[in-house]
Amino acid sequence: MSDQASASKGLEGVVVAQTSKSAINGQEGKLAYVGIPIQEFAENHAPYEEVVYLLWYSRLPTRAQLDTFSRELAAQRSLPEPMLTILRDFPRTADPMAVLRTAISALAFYDENPDQLSPENVRRIAASLTAKIPTILAAYYRLRHGQEPVAPRLDLGHAAHFLYMLSGESPGEQSARGLNSYLVLLAEHGMNASTFAARVIAGTLADVYSAITGAIGALKGPSHGGAPPRVMHMLEAVERPELADQWVENALAANQRIMGVGHRVYKTFDPRANILREMVKQVAQERGEARWYELSKAVEDAAVKRLQGKGLYTNVDFYTAPLLGSLGLPTDMFTPLFAMSRIAGWTAHLMEQYADNRLIRPRAEYVGPVDKQYIPFDERRASG
């Protein structure tokens, strides 16, 4: 009755779109944004705004272009007043990732032109969301702690400004630089699950708000952006470096997955994990507080020793936890911070999708019964 093809579970190895935003070599552990290796952004302390510009325009900005672009983003940091009312009404126990998902969806109500898909309008909404996500997260964080949200400023860069909105005080240079590097490293990563979700939604010609709301939902799961808080809980459970080997042994014997380990594409160390590891080490040296570095390194060594035979190594989420933790950021903000970075890549992909759209509509392999008959209620017998 149906023409059948067999299922490719998890779409592993399936190429569903073309992109010029990032290239990944999973065997060699390489990642490049628009052709530029990821390490170069980290080494040159590229500001997050520069990477956003690169991903949206596919070229590096001049100094003047970057200044204009950064000012344009900063000018859109304020939330429409009703958004603050909504945030105040949310339960203080809500997961910040769920808050972000709902807030992004609600933001569409206060946009006069949310559904128009011209390149200019899509870029306008992309800039607005990129600028407002940190404001939403910081506002909810403060409300949850019984503090009033602080009004956005225009004079700080993206990362520093987020830290300012969290605490109400200008952050130290070291913390702002650490968060900026994190945001740069997570900004884009090919056809990952949340980007795919965004492109599927955009493929129906639905609006940017819908696509980003869906992407946030996909990012929330532990197999994707939900891993870093779980890495933190694991590190806390391990407690001390000398206990790591036995802890990992026991976890694997109990068939548990080691969070922050394994990747669908990388079959060696994730290049972002290598950079984050060095950053965690550096923060430890600068602060004379080696606990998180030594603990993470011990868990990584114990896990990789046992799992590398299966091609499983640490991924970006592993060292995200000790990095953001040592910057003093709360554990349940780790995944929202991933979203705050990845909005750049999501929206870059939406621009590509809308510019050359075709409905994304794969097939399912039918494995249910065939040639059955409809039986009227009175003739049906209960089964099971």
Active site residues: 224, 263, 317
Check residue 312 for interaction with ligand COA (CB under 6 A).
yes
Check residue 306 for interaction with ligand COA (CB under 6 A).
no
Check residue 201 for interaction with ligand COA (CB under 6 A).
no
Check residue 134 for interaction with ligand COA (CB under 6 A).
no
Pick one of 124, 264, 267, 291: the residue that binds ligand COA (CB under 6 A).
264
| Host H or E run for residue 36 | strand 36-37
Q: Which residue is nearest to ligand COA (CB)?
A: 262
Residues 10-29 that bind ligand COA (CB under 6 A): 10
Pick one of 74, 218, 258, 344: the residue that binds ligand COA (CB under 6 A).
258
What's the closest the beta carbon of residue 16 comes to ligand COA, in angstroms?
16
Q: How far apart are the first and last CA of the chain?
A: 28
Measured from the CB atom, the residue of 73 and 258 that comes closer to ligand COA is 258
Q: What number of other Cβ atoms are within 10 A of residue 319's Cβ?
A: 31
Check residue 125 for interaction with ligand COA (CB under 6 A).
no
Check residue 235 for interaction with ligand COA (CB under 6 A).
no
d(C-alpha 259, C-alpha 336), whole Å: 17
d(C-alpha 313, C-alpha 296), whole Å: 13
d(C-alpha 88, C-alpha 65), whole Å: 37
Measured from the CB atom, the residue of 321 and 344 that comes closer to ligand COA is 321
Residue partners of 383: CB distance under 8 A and separation at least 6: none
Output helix, strand, coil percentages for the chain, rounded to the nearest 5.
Answer: 60, 5, 40
d(C-alpha 178, C-alpha 18), whole Å: 32
Pick one of 30, 123, 124, 257: the residue that binds ligand COA (CB under 6 A).
257
Check residue 261 for interaction with ligand COA (CB under 6 A).
yes
d(C-alpha 55, C-alpha 349), whole Å: 9
In single-letter form, the type of residue at position 50 comes to E
In single-letter form, the type of residue at position 127 comes to A
Pick one of 317, 340, 345, 354: the residue that binds ligand COA (CB under 6 A).
317
Measured from the CB atom, the residue of 266 and 354 that comes closer to ligand COA is 266
Candidates 159-167, 202-210, 251-259, 280-288; binding stretch for ligand COA (CB under 6 A): 251-259
Residue partners of 73: CB distance under 8 A and separation at least 6: 49, 52, 127, 130, 131, 158
Where does this chain bind ligand COA (CB under 6 A)? Answer: 10, 222-224, 227, 257-264, 307, 310, 312, 315-317
